[in-house]
Amino acid sequence: MTYSTQRSLELLRLGSGQSGATFREGQEAAIRHIVEGRGRLLVVQKTGWGKSFVYFIATKLLQEAGSGPSLLISPLLALMRNQIAAAERMGVRAVTINSDNQEEWDNIEAAVRRNEIDILLISPERLANERFRTEVLAHIAASISLLVIDEAHCISDWGHDFRPHYRLLERIVRTLPANLRLLATTATANNRVMDDLKAVLGPSITVSRGDLNRPSLLLQTIRLPSQAERMAWLAAQVPSLPGHGIIYTLTVRDAVQVADWLQSRGLNVESYTGETGERRPELEQALLENRVKALVATTALGMGYDKPDLGFVIHYQTPGSVVAYYQQVGRAGRALDAAYGVLLSGEEETEITDFFIESAFPTRDEVRLVLDALTACPTGLSIPGIMAEVNVSYGRISKVIDLLALESPPPIVKQGTKWQLTTATLSRSFWQRAERLTALRRVEQQQMQEYVGLTSGHMEFLIRALDGDPGRIRPPALRQLPTNVDAALVREAVRFLRRTSFPLELRKKWPAGGMPQYNVRGNIPAEHQAREGKVLCVWGDAGWGELVRTGKYQDGRFADELVTACVRLVREWAPRPAPEWVACIPSRRHPDLVPDFAGRLAEALDLRFYPVLEKTDDRPEQKTMANSTQQARNIDGSLDIVNRTIPHGPVLLVDDMVDSRWTLTIAAWLLRTHGSGDVFPLALARTGHGD
């Protein structure tokens, strides 16, 4: 097929909206390679280089030459709005099927079948959908002119826990005709990942690999152990930083908390996480148009988001690998002469990245329990059915199911809504892969801690870690940012952390199958439900959480400071009708801990304390129950009223920890059915085990 430089450049200028735009080094060569059918191509270029222009321009040129549509597989479809808009400016008819546009799927699939689409963008999970494969993909498979695999590093085992369904793509690629045009793109691939990609995409694949250096970035690392110190640092430095940027956190909770703190200091910032939902496009646009100083974000705002003039990227905690860090910090300064990339390091980050490493693969026990449950039920079980049989969380069961179903041959298959065993057994290679990758991630975690300790040579370190050639690097002429924090501002941050609280909504339905010992099922009548309550803090967090942990497991008594904090919380909350008495959740393991706290709280609130609830027998702690069904069964029949006559007025129901919410739900139901007034639950800390 004949390639036209003039037409290609014209499309670049249309797509970019810049009449004087020119190709970056390697861009046009990649487009020519695809259009002329010179074989499979892997493009490894840093974020912002313009990989999407390569496949959209190639698609348009192939279409104009009479070829069929392109198929692009990417995990980032919800973040590709800018790229799709650029494609449309070139006249490329691009549509996407992703989790954010389910109401449009039928119309899009019909348009694909009518040949009205130039490029179809799908997530790798679509490939596992039998209806999509038979009703959509089968109709266009023979006419596809170009297959694009975006974020191709996810094919490698490195990306196993990021997008497991890329393993399906690996098998599909191996069955493709040798002459089908194939383009794979990624921004980060060290030698080990490159070897994996060559093994999957073909040893003869051509590799276009660019320079990893980002000359506009001034990189800096600062150790500030406590969250309060880092929050104080952000409050002091972000207002004076040039331009607009992103502040990355490792967890959703931290993103929201840091954003709230900075807002309280008068900064125009917003949090952006996987839970932001429908506001995500609005917030992306707000940052693009410089209407916010920064987004405080998890990796939900990651690969696929394109703002070339970001003035800074700050990390509130250290990510788990160089690959992740380079991807994220590389979003800053693409179209600027100078930008900041600052990594703050805190004491909690290792615990968080440990959790990510340890939860990336299911354990042998989790796999055994799921397989045993399916063995005992030859007709199959749905995931809720499995939850009723095994003490494993919904998320962990789903991970087991996903990974086993993606094995070849798979030991389980889905029939309708149920999963059943096949004759295949789980191969040893599954566990070997899990062990190898877990060990690798430990090495990557340690490598990032080495990076934190650097005083210079940050970019050189990153490039070497990615198996690139650092060459001669000159950081931009920016001043280093201060590494110290103002003590008064730290105290303000501590006060902020300690003034937050969280809403607590108890359950409104009994579990599937009901509560046999209490003889209840279905919906809990509204008159027997608790009102919305409050939780003082998150277990072990930087506000009150650590004091709760110390009180429960070291001192055996909750500090007076926690009583004072809860008095302030209740007075600010001001529940109506106002509680007239206090009750608490009993415990056989710590019989005096919560009653002592509840009694002191009642006295401080000038209320009476009545220990009217009792624990009838010993049960495992709720935090050891991994899913809702198991948590409910663990509580069934274990609580009762000590004295059949209880006060009739509204009651503050106190507990130290809330895990599954079943204990408080049943206690509130018991109180209401025995004649109490409205029940307002109050817990010192939430753990997240049950919810």
Beta strands in 396-539 (DSSP E): 412-415, 418-421, 502-504, 533-538
User: Taking the CA of residue 327 as centre, how many other CA atoms within 13 Å lie in the half-sphere pointing to its CB?
Assistant: 23
Q: Is the pLDDT of residue 622 over 90?
A: no
Q: What percent of the chain has pLDDT over 90?
A: 63
Q: Examine residue 579 and say whether the peptide bond preceding it is cis (omega within 30 degrees of 0).
A: no
What is the torsional sign of CA 339, 344, 350, 355? Answer: negative
Strands 639-641 and 613-615: antiparallel
Question: Quick one: pLDDT band at residue 157, thresholds 50, 70, 90?
Answer: low
Q: What pLDDT does 158 receive?
A: 55
Mean pLDDT for the stretch of residues 183-196: 84
Mean pLDDT for the stretch of residues 302-307: 76
What is the torsional sign of CA 565, 571, 573, 578? Answer: positive
Q: Which fold has domain 5-209?
A: Rossmann fold (3.40.50)
Q: Are 256 and 249 contacting, i.e. CB atoms less than 8 angstroms apart?
A: no
* Residue type present at position 168: L
Q: Is the pLDDT of residue 256 over 50?
A: yes
* Cα 25 from Cα 517, distance rounded (Å): 72
* Cα 69 from Cα 94, distance rounded (Å): 10
Question: Quick one: pLDDT band at residue 258, thresholds 50, 70, 90?
Answer: very high
Q: What is the pTM of this model?
A: 0.83
Structure tokens at 642: 């000590």
Q: Is the pLDDT of residue 195 over 90?
A: no
Helix H or strand E encompassing 374? helix 364-375
Residue with tokens 């209740």: 570
Most confident by average pLDDT, 611-620, 621-630, 646-655? 646-655
Mean pLDDT for the stretch of residues 498-506: 88
Helix H or strand E encompassing 395? helix 394-405
Q: What pLDDT does 303 receive?
A: 66
Mean pLDDT for the stretch of residues 142-157: 85
Q: Examine residue 470 and say whether the peptide bond preceding it is cis (omega within 30 degrees of 0).
A: no
Question: Quick one: pLDDT band at residue 690, thresholds 50, 70, 90?
Answer: very low
Structure tokens at 663: 């204990």
Question: Quick one: pLDDT band at residue 691, thresholds 50, 70, 90?
Answer: very low
Q: What pLDDT does 674 receive?
A: 95
Beta bridge partners of 654: 584, 682
Q: Is the pLDDT of residue 386 over 70?
A: yes
Helices (H), 542-661: 545-550, 560-573, 593-604, 628-635
Structure tokens at 547: 């004091």
Q: Are 189 and 153 contacting, i.e. CB atoms less than 8 angstroms apart?
A: yes
* SS3 assignment, position 679: strand
Structure tokens at 458: 């940050």
Q: Is the pLDDT of residue 160 over 60?
A: no
What is the torsional sign of CA 628, 631, 636, 638? Answer: negative
* Cα 524 from Cα 536, distance rounded (Å): 26
* Cα 340 from Cα 478, distance rounded (Å): 8
Q: At what angle do helices 394-405 and 364-375 cross, to 10 degrees?
A: 80
492 against 160, higher pLDDT = 492
* Cα 323 from Cα 388, distance rounded (Å): 39
Helix H or strand E encompassing 245? strand 245-248
Question: To the nearest whole number, what is the mean pLDDT of the chain?
Answer: 90
Q: Is the pLDDT of residue 179 over 80?
A: no
How many Å is the Cα radius of gyration of the chain? 28
Q: What pLDDT does 474 receive?
A: 87
Closest by CA position to 176, among listed 130, 210, 221, 145: 145
Q: Are 87 and 70 contacting, i.e. CB atoms less than 8 angstroms apart?
A: no
φ/ψ of 613, rounded to 5, equals -100, 145
Q: Is the pLDDT of residue 76 over 80?
A: no
Domain coordinates in residue numbering, the chain:
5-209, 217-354+441-488, 498-686
* Cα 514 from Cα 189, distance rounded (Å): 51
Mean pLDDT for the stretch of residues 253-282: 93
Q: Which fold has domain 217-354+441-488?
A: Rossmann fold (3.40.50)
Q: Is the pLDDT of residue 320 over 70?
A: yes
* Cα 317 from Cα 251, distance rounded (Å): 10
Could you say which architecture CATH assigns to the domain 498-686? 3-Layer(aba) Sandwich (3.40)
Return the DSSP state at 520. Answer: B
* SS3 assignment, position 381: strand
Q: Is the pLDDT of residue 12 over 50?
A: yes
Question: Quick one: pLDDT band at residue 174, thresholds 50, 70, 90?
Answer: confident
Residue with tokens 């430089």: 5
Question: Quick one: pLDDT band at residue 689, thresholds 50, 70, 90?
Answer: very low
Q: Is the pLDDT of residue 192 over 90?
A: no
- The tens digit of pLDDT for each residue in 271-302 reads 999 888 889 999 999 999 999 999 999 988 87
Q: What pLDDT does 112 receive?
A: 83
- 540 torsion bin: left (phi>0), alpha (psi -120 to 50), beta (else): left
Please provide the distance, in angstroms rounded to a whole number, between the alpha carbons at the two ends of the chain: 57
Lowest mean pLDDT among 404-418, 550-564, 623-637: 623-637
560 against 688, higher pLDDT = 560
Question: Same fold for the domain at 217-354+441-488 and the one at 498-686?
Answer: yes
Lowest mean pLDDT among 30-34, 96-100, 405-409: 96-100
Q: Examine residue 409 and say whether the peptide bond preceding it is cis (omega within 30 degrees of 0).
A: yes
Q: Is the pLDDT of residue 255 over 90?
A: yes
Q: What pLDDT does 78 receive?
A: 63
